[in-house]
């Protein structure tokens, strides 16, 4: 593998651009703060709305998103540094006729947008996936930047089995992630690189560690080959967990140990920020806020209070301060600082 010095990599981008990317990363990676994933597609929201009898219309989706983003400003800004939007939200407005991106800017929250276009089957594999969206990505990123977005998110997905993920799937998806990151940086957006490993299998945590290390090694080789400026990107991924169907459930201490081992062995020190997925939530936990809200204006305050309670738990967890002993659900968030509601 051809290696580049920091100066050589930086020279691929103008120094002013490198500084801009570093500044954006710094603004979203303050201790105790996380990113809010508000990028669910209309089709995904439809499933959640149907559970509580809400019609899935553009107006309803807008109202739900406003309910989340308009929670108490001081608490919201204390726990959340950035919000990842679905592209439908780019031109949606609050009830006071302010675009969501501008609304977030006034709260000193960095806006981002999901730019991939979903998954398709990767030929010659056992139902493995690859992510679409590179066509017109540069033009889209230029437009999103002009509209006030400074982060761009792209997700690739891997499953673990006896023969998966294959080398083909890992290399193909790593190259897609690297191309995405390179394009984003040249349009002055910080790429959120997300290689998600699903935990819907029977494998043990040692197998999960093996896959994480191999996948991350291949990913960072591709990022270097595409001259991605590592100081100007962030990594988003799941903890190293055994499969959900595995009979042996690992303690948080074991999960932390294995996760740190994988990261220390594969992720360059130049990468300034890592965000973790909230992979331990049950369906009931994930839908708590929306079930309180029910598209009823009278329930907004209660729903926002629950939302802020959850992001506070995430903040405390990221600082190592969470000491709640409660088997009721919310404490399952104690290892994650990337929240999806």
The per-residue pLDDT for range 301-311, each reduced to its tens digit, is 999 999 999 99
Domain assignment of residue 180, given as a range: 13-319
Residues present in the chain in total: 341
> Any catalytic annotation for residue 194?
yes
Q: Is the pLDDT of residue 270 over 90?
A: yes
User: What is the percent of the chain with per-residue pLDDT over 70, rounded to a whole number?
Assistant: 88
Provide the domain count of the chain.
1
Q: Is the distance from CB of 65 to CB of 113 less than 8 angstroms?
A: no
pLDDT at 98: 97
Q: 272 in a domain, yes or no?
A: yes
Q: 7 in a domain, yes or no?
A: no
Q: 71 in a domain, yes or no?
A: yes
User: Encoding tokens for residue 195?
Assistant: 């290689």
Q: 47 in a domain, yes or no?
A: yes
**pLDDT top residue among 330 and 181:** 181
State which H helix or E strand residue 275 sits in.
strand 274-276
> Any catalytic annotation for residue 236?
yes
Q: 36 in a domain, yes or no?
A: yes
The per-residue pLDDT for range 188-242, each reduced to its tens digit, is 999 999 999 998 899 999 999 999 999 999 999 999 999 999 999 999 999 999 9
Q: Is the distance from CB of 36 to CB of 82 less than 8 angstroms?
A: yes
Identify the band that residue 317 occupies on the pLDDT scale cut at 50, 70 and 90. Answer: confident
User: 194, 231, 298, 312: which one is catalytic?
Assistant: 194
Q: How far is CA 287 from the centre of its chain?
A: 18
Q: 3 in a domain, yes or no?
A: no
Q: Which residues, 6 or more positions from 305, have their beta carbon under 8 angstroms from its beta carbon?
A: none
User: 236, 291, 294, 321: which one is catalytic?
Assistant: 236
- Assessment of whether the complete model's pTM goes beyond 0.75: yes
Q: 205 in a domain, yes or no?
A: yes
Mean pLDDT of 118-125: 94
Q: Is the pLDDT of residue 185 over 50?
A: yes
Report the CATH number that the domain containing residue 143 is assigned in CATH: 3.20.20.70
Q: 124 in a domain, yes or no?
A: yes
């Amino acid at each position: 593998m051809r290696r580049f010095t920091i100066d050589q990599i930086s020279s691929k981008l103008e120094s002013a651009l490198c500084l801009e990317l570093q500044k954006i990363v710094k603004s979203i990676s303050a201790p105790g703060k996380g990113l809010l994933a508000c990028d669910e597609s209309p089709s995904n929201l439809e499933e959640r709305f149907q559970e509580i009898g809400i019609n899935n219309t553009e107006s309803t989706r807008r109202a739900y998103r406003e309910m989340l983003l308009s929670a108490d400003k001081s608490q919201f800004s204390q726990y959340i540094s950035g919000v990842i939007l679905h592209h439908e939200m780019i031109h949606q407005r609050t009830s006071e006729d302010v675009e969501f991106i501008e609304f977030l800017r006034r709260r000193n929250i960095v806006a981002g947008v999901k730019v991939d276009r979903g998954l398709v089957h990767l030929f010659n594999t056992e139902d493995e996936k690859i992510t679409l969206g590179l066509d017109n990505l540069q033009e889209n990123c230029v437009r999103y930047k002009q509209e006030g977005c400074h982060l761009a998110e792209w997700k690739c997905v891997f499953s673990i089995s006896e023969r998966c993920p294959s080398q083909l799937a890992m290399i193909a998806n790593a190259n897609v992630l690297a191309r995405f990151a390179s394009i984003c940086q040249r349009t002055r957006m910080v790429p959120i690189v997300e290689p998600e490993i699903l935990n819907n299998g029977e494998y043990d945590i040692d197998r999960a560690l093996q896959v994480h290390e191999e996948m991350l090694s291949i990913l960072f080789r591709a990022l270097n080959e595409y001259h991605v400026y590592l100081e100007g990107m962030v990594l988003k991924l799941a903890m190293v967990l055994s499969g959900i169907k595995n009979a042996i459930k690992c303690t948080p201490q074991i999960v932390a140990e294995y996760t740190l081992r994988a990261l220390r062995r594969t992720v360059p020190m130049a990468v300034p920020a890592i965000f973790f997925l909230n992979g331990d939530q049950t369906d009931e936990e994930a839908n708590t806020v929306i079930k309180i809200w029910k598209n009823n204006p009278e329930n907004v305050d209660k729903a926002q209070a629950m939302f802020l309670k959850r992001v506070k738990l995430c903040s405390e967890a990221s600082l190592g301060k969470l000491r709640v002993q409660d088997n009721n659900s919310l404490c399952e968030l104690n290892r994650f600082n990337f929240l999806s509601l």
